[in-house]
Amino acid sequence: MCDHQDLSVEGQQHSSPAERHGLSQRDQSRRPALTRLVAVQGGENVTVPLHLQSKLSAAEVLPDSFPSAPAEPLPEFLLEPEDAFIVKNRPVQLRCRASPATQIYFKCNGEWVNQNDHVTRESLDQITGLVVREVDISVSRTQVEELFGLEDYWCQCVAWSSAGTTKSNRAYVRIAYLRKNFEQEPLGREVRMEQEVLLQCRPPEGMPAAEVDWLKNEDVIDPSQDSNFLITIDHDLIIKQARLSDTANYTCVARNVVAKRRSSTATLIVYVSGGWSSWTEWSECNARCGRGWQRRTRSCTNPAPLNGGAFCEGPPFQRVTCTTLCPVDGGWTEWAKWSACGTECTHWRSRECQAPPPRNGGKHCSGSMMESKNCTEGLCARSKSPEQTLAPGMGVAVYAGLVGALLLCVILVLCVGVLAYRRRCRHLHGDITDSSSALTAAFHPGNYKPPRQDNPHHLHPSAPPDLTATAGAFRGPLFSLQQGVIDSPHKIPMTTSPLLDPLPSLKIKVYNSSTLSSMELPADICSDGEILSLKSVGTVGRERDYHSHTLSREPGLSTSTTLGNQGGRLTIPNTGVSLLVPPGTIPQGKFYEMYLIINKWDKTTLPSEGSQTVLSPVVSCGPSGMLLNRPVVLTLPHCAQLDTPTPDWTLTLKTQTHQGAWEEVLTVGEETLSSPCYLQLEEECSHVVMEQLGTYSLVGQSCPPQPACKRLQLALFAPRAPCLSLDYSLRIYCIHDTPHALKEVLDLERSLGGVLLEDPKPLLFKDSYHNLRLSIHDIPHSHWRSKLLAKYQEIPFYHIWSGSQRPLHCTFSLERGSLVVSQLACKICVRQVEGEGQIFQLHTDIQEVMVTTQITRIRKEKATELLGPYAFRLPDSIRQKICASLDAPSARGCDWRLLARSLGFDRYLNYFATKPSPTGVLLDLWEACHQADADLVSLATALEEMGKSEVLVVMTTDGDC
């Protein structure tokens, strides 16, 4: 800055011009010729350069007056010096231009630049007539390096006119450079197709800061041309959904005015894991006669593995046994004896095609059934015809007798028909029960009566019953008990048919629009109560409507309530299923009837495909078209074993469309920017933070190389009290280890009069294609006898692993020696072939009547709905203060992101980052995860670790910590 002083002529005699400007004698040689204001007569000030002041001083005589001139304006800069970088050793030029200006000088770092270093040009503005002055200086690398300290080297212009001075902006001069080594270089990866990819790049340190370009196979990536690419402000490259065409070499290029640097090349390979095609139809049985095999295949072409993607897991073919009935050609019986000699001198004999009769497409006997010959060796002459031999009266008598016999036959047929019709009507008015219940309900063995041949829907005595109503889509071998014993004396394939759940021979009428069958029960039944307990809800031959969207709100499996802006919580007790609706989800002033339903097995399709398995109940929440202002949290129990060192599961959340098809919502660990929800996994349940209500289920698939495991429960039941019969049965259910599955079995057994003998035992079922084997041991043979002919029973692997079929149970039928026997001690072993197992040590008195605590609890509890503030453990005032404290980003990272890490909700932070209040969504998820033990200790601990003492004070004073 230049300081100006108004000096009188007399004042010039006491100080030199340099001293008046505060310049030392050493600096005068390199200072520009400065100007100063000199007071002259008449009171006007004249600007005089300092190098002329000595002459004025020597003369010491000034004229009495000066001619007046029009006042000039302050100088105005037309061009100001700009920031510059010294590249290598080349100096930089700084330039400024001002008008009107009598003098322009540069000042650098507070010191005037020597006048000799200025290059000055002067011109006249043709329009205004004012003087335009332009000045250049050069700044070298040496001058910049001589400056020590934290401040950068700077220069600015100072312009003079008769009206005063004007300063320009400061121009900074820096030495340009670019380091050689990148702070972080991109790394090559192998990613799955449609996966989000992040390639990181931190350019070398430089001045000016380096600009970054990304090259794909040496071509510059332009995100404006390809929206699948995104370059962040930190110079990272994001590929939103990897495509096969994105397989390439990627290079990060940093450049500035000094140089250009290239990072090492990162190779990105986008692979496609193989997927199985649909199964082909079962081939024909390879044996034309007797026992053979049927086979179906699939190929790993949907899609085919590419770029090193994993080949499909599982077998490419399946094989089951089949039996083809052998054709039997007919054979003639022996000829019968010759008949008596007839009137025409002939006798005859016959034979039948019954030795054996033709069966299964076999050929009929060839030849004639009757044979005749002359019985007198030609010695007998033909007699007259009967009409000629009989007298006229005898012919009329014969015809009258034939007509009377015909009328008698017609009358007998009518009587039989009336009796049969009345008997049938009387039977149809008897008790009606459902055959699917009758086929699975009782504990006592029984036999089928042969069905009438005129009804094609009845069970054939030599063929297994239709299991589609209860066994779902299982396509394994189905045999009757007799066939299983013949084929293998040690093994009985398991189904839900009565072949493994024998019924008492009570005569029960079972019919619907298309079927009618009957079964028998001995006369020594227990009571009418047991007969009524056989009634259930299914129907023989009824096909499940897989695409029906009528949601049945059955007691114990559904709940509903009216919610408003304050929100609430819906819970189905003893199932682990709940729905948390936070405050503000429903618009102010509106109310909705919201529901939560667990879909039954026979009411909906299930989302498993191929080797996938259903891990949670299928839950519907709604209304499905409802608009939500903020996310809700749906809690689903699951049966996946997750406490393994390596991830064994690929877990997928699926939803059902209005057309009945299942679609993938997200895959855990592979979320993208387009994922519509967040899934928090715990050991026994999952919490889904979502904004769209509908039907959801959790599906899993084994992730190689280690096979995954499902958690199962084994529940052992027996009749509540034995009837006056020697038969006694033990039933073992194999179910998912979820509260809902156990509740379903307990409800069923309670209606059938069954008692849970022991607490359910856990069992890990491994994805190893091995069946589940059940066997009974150590039966006291002096008092008890097993009625099973096989050594063990098996439940097919695919039936359990798919999880999309009704759980099977196995029945062990026993017989006691007398009615006095009541003590039973035995072992029941349940294990997966080449896997883990469990043993039930049974010691019971069958005369005791026990009702387990689980059944009692299920009978008493009802669905619960908590409305408004009562549904939440965290008061609204504390919630708002926590959100206000943590929603805003913090430079030290002490914001909602640290809270998510402290609570364990940080698997995919991008989901919360898209919400207006990320902290509010985290607190909603915390409420759902701690609905059973929702004390504030865990939340307070997390806030204390973050150093949020002010929030802790609020929680201590306002809340119940």
Secondary structure (3-state) at 667? strand
CATH number of the domain that 165 lies in?
A: 2.60.40.10
pLDDT for res 752: 83
- Residues 92 and 164 reside in one and the same domain: yes
Question: pLDDT value at position 149?
Answer: 66
CB atoms within 10 A of CB 146: 10
Average pLDDT, the chain: 75
Residues 212 and 193 in one domain: yes
- Asked, for residue 528, whether it belongs to a domain, the answer is no
Q: Residue 899 corresponds to which amino acid?
A: L
Show Cβ contacts of residue 41 under 8 Å, excluding neighbours closer than 6 positions.
62, 63, 64, 65
Tell me, yes or no, whether 165 and 187 share the same domain: no
Task: Choose one of 258, 292, 324: the last residue of a domain.
Answer: 324
pLDDT at residue number 213: 93
CA 214 to chain centre: 34
β-sheet bridge partners, residue 124:
131
Omega cis (within 30) before 303: yes
**Residue 456: which pLDDT band, with cuts at 50, 70 and 90?**
very low
Q: Please, what's the largest Cα pairwise distance for the chain?
A: 195
pLDDT in tens, 774-800: 999 888 888 888 888 777 888 888 888
Residue among 690, 601, 704 nearest 314 (CA):
704
For the segment 412-424, what is each residue's pLDDT rounded down to a tens digit? 888 888 887 766 6
Residue 574 domain-assigned (yes or no): no
Query: Does residue 109 lie in a domain region?
Result: yes
The percentage of residues in the chain with a pLDDT greater than 90, rounded to a whole number, is 23
> Do 760 and 830 meet the contact criterion of CB atoms below 8 Å apart?
no
Segment 57-82, tens digit of pLDDT: 443 444 554 555 566 788 889 999 99
Show Cβ contacts of residue 902 under 8 Å, excluding neighbours closer than 6 positions: 941, 942, 945, 946
299 and 232 fall within a common domain? no
Q: Nearest 5°: CA angle at 419, between 416 and 425?
A: 140
What string of DSSP letters covers 293-350?
EEEEE--S-TTPPBTTPPPPPS-SEEEEEEEEPPPB-----PPPPPPPP-TTSEEEEE
pLDDT value of residue 397? 66
Distance CA 446, CA 811 (A): 13
Task: Give me the pLDDT at residue 957, please.
Answer: 56
**Residue where a domain terminates, one of 117, 149, 175:** 175
Q: Is residue 728 located within the same domain as residue 835?
A: yes
Residues 911 and 799 in one domain: no
Whether residue 891 sits in one domain with residue 811: no
Residue 97 lies inside a defined structural domain of this protein: yes
Query: What 3-state class would DSSP assign to 626?
Result: coil
Q: What is the pLDDT of residues 696-740, one digit of tens each?
A: 999 998 887 778 899 999 999 988 766 677 888 889 999 999 998
Q: Model confidence over 76-113: pLDDT tens digits?
A: 899 999 999 988 888 999 999 998 888 999 999 888 98
* 840 assigned to some structural domain: yes
Whether 145 and 80 map to the same domain: the answer is: yes
**pLDDT, tens digit (0-9, with 9 covering 90-100), for 131-170:** 889 999 999 888 888 876 667 889 999 999 888 899 999 9
Separation CA 954–CA 961 (nearest Å): 10
Q: Which domain holds residue 130?
A: 76-175
- For position 300, which CATH number holds? 2.20.100.10
How many CA within 13 A on the CB side of residue 575? Answer: 31
CATH number at residue 883: 1.10.533.10
Same domain for 915 and 927, yes or no, is yes
Same domain? For 85 and 166 the reply is yes
Structural domains in the chain (count) = 5
| In a shared domain, residues 794 and 880 | no
* Structural domain ending residue among the three candidates 240, 271, 302: 271
Q: How far is the C-alpha of 19 from the C-alpha of 50, rounded, in Å?
A: 11
Give the separation between CA 541 and CA 369, rounded to whole angstroms.
Answer: 44
Could you tell me if residue 126 is inside a domain?
Answer: yes
Residue 720: which residues within 8 A CB-CB, separation 6 or more? 753, 754, 755, 849, 850, 851
Q: Is residue 663 part of a domain?
A: no
CA distance 313 to 700: 14
Strand, helix or coil for residue 941: helix
Alpha carbons 828 and 255: distance in angstroms, whole number: 76
- Indicate if 837 and 720 belong to the same structural domain: yes
Residues 187, 267 contacting (CB under 8 angstroms):
no
- Contact call for residues 718 and 846 (beta carbons, < 8 A): yes
Domain-located, residue 185: yes
Pick the more confident residue, 643 or 695: 695
> What pLDDT score does 843 carry?
84
